[in-house]
Chain A
Amino acid sequence: MERRSFLKGFGVVAACATLLPHVANAADEAKKVAGPNEMNYENAVAAITGGKPLTPSAKVVIVAPEIAENGAVVPVKVTVQSPMSDKDYVKAIHVLASKNGNVRCANVYLTPANGEAYFGTRVKLGGTQDVVAIAEMSDGTFLSAKQNVKVTIGGCG
């Protein structure tokens, strides 16, 4: 790198770095406000499973970006391997954002008419965290999978 262009780049970093404390304050302030549906991860899982064990399984596939350049719109797709027959199907797919104030994102109640156990959406993430999918199977078991999403905040606006 040429010295001149490097110095220019450094100037750029300094230009916006001073905005950082401002951003941090805003984030702290936001933390003080409790949302209307606050619920932590443990309680949300218990509410879904009714205390039954939750088993991590390769049958549940959750796809979300490893790195999200903004936390406001993070795509999430969940697919569960299942024949989706009347006897053997996925009753529900639950999507949780493990560290949001209210970790619950969506509870999706499926039927065999879906043909495939799939749910796709976009979620808001308050910061870097695991996005968790829980599949409620027709035999009463609960399977899960998770994907860590690193939320990077930055840029100039």
Chain B
Amino acid sequence: MRKLSVSATLIALALLSTANAEEKMSMSDADKAMYAEMLENNPAAMDVAEGEEMFERLIGNEAYAKMLGVKEKDLPKYLSGFPRVVKSAGKVVTIAQTLQMAMADRGQSVPKLESNEIIKMSAYVKSLANGLKTSIDVKSDKQMKEMMALGQEVFEQRRGGRGLSCNSCHSADIIGQRLRMQPLPDLGVNKAAGTWPAYRMTQSQMVTLDKRFQQCMENALLAKIPLGSREMVGLEVYVTNKTKGNEIQIPGLKR
């Protein structure tokens, strides 16, 4: 009986704090407008500009389009569909991986996916699709279907000492509840996958989507899935598909 009353009190307290949090800890519309305005002077704009310089120097549009097997003028549309199957890779890859492939093609030493070069170049390359809608097609072929299924499995897989999965915080029925005062985002609405790579203000740096997944895993005390692994690419496929049809705007700006 006592136990019951304690938990009842806890629940009451929790509800109360939720109500208070909503009232006092949320940004007002004016506050939000100030942050929206910051997109005009995104601190990551210079990272993207650097990525452009590197891309022009190391790869270039012509060689890149040729490697992907598309016409230069079709690049933006093609880029809006990543992750996708690239013929020369023979599998589903991310934009970052295609940059590694292009550099290997040209006999250059290939930087890691974690490197500044790949991060900045992939942000620039994805920005070529700015204004277009995310056009990932998870039903286009067998490999995409497999990666979508793998991605969903990774998203729902409970791991670590606490048995947490991505779904523990990002399932549809708990969107908007607060985690340490921050509302849990809906990964399916606009400004999600279409806006990564993004500047993360809390870290004062530009971060890619897969790196963001790793940061999430780290904070949930889960082993980090390596960048470029099948599981990580699958996760990117699954989460990107949630935002299919949303506008691409690179670089994004996140808390």
A residues sitting closer than 8 Å to B (CB atoms) are 2, 5-6, 8-13, 15-17, 19-20, 63-70, 72-73, 75, 122, 150, 152-157
Contacts and interface: CB of A to CB of B under 8 A. Distances in A.
A154 B174 contact: no
B204 interface: yes
Contact of A12 (B31, B38, B184): B184
A75 B35 contact: yes
A35 to B, nearest CB: 17
Given A8-B171, A65-B35, A155 B28 contact: no
Interface in B165-221: 168-169, 171, 173-174, 177-182, 184, 201-204, 215-216, 218-220
A26 to B, nearest CB: 13
Given A12-B184, A15-B220, A66 B31 contact: yes
A12 B179 contact: yes
Contact of A65 (B34, B43, B177): B34
Contact of B181 (A2, A11, A63, A154): A154
Given A9-B174, A12-B169, A155-B255, A67 B27 contact: yes
B179 to A, nearest CB: 6
Given A5-B174, A72-B204, A157 B215 contact: yes
B149 interface: no
Identify whether the interface residues of A are mostly helix, strand, loop, or mixed.
Answer: mixed
A5 B179 CA distance: 14
A78 to B, nearest CB: 13
B74 interface: no
B59 interface: no
B141 interface: no
Q: Which of B35, B180, B182 has the most CB of A within 10 A?
A: B180
Interface in B36-51: 37-38, 43
Given A10-B14, A154-B179, 13 more contacts: A2-B173, A5-B173, A5-B174, A11-B168, A13-B14, A65-B27, A67-B25, A67-B28, A69-B255, A70-B255, A72-B204, A154-B181, A157-B216
Contacts of B14: 10, 13
A68 B26 CA distance: 9
A69 B27 contact: yes
10 contacts: A9-B174, A9-B177, A10-B14, A17-B180, A72-B201, A73-B38, A122-B43, A150-B25, A156-B216, A157-B219
A66 to B, nearest CB: 6
Interface string B1-45: 000000000010010000000000111101100110110000100
Contacts of A150: 25
A16 B182 CA distance: 12
A156 B215 CA distance: 9
B219 A70 contact: no
Nearest to A4: B173
A113 B248 CA distance: 40
B156 to A, nearest CB: 13
Contacts of B181: 152-155
B38 A75 contact: yes
A67 B43 CA distance: 20
A12 B174 contact: yes
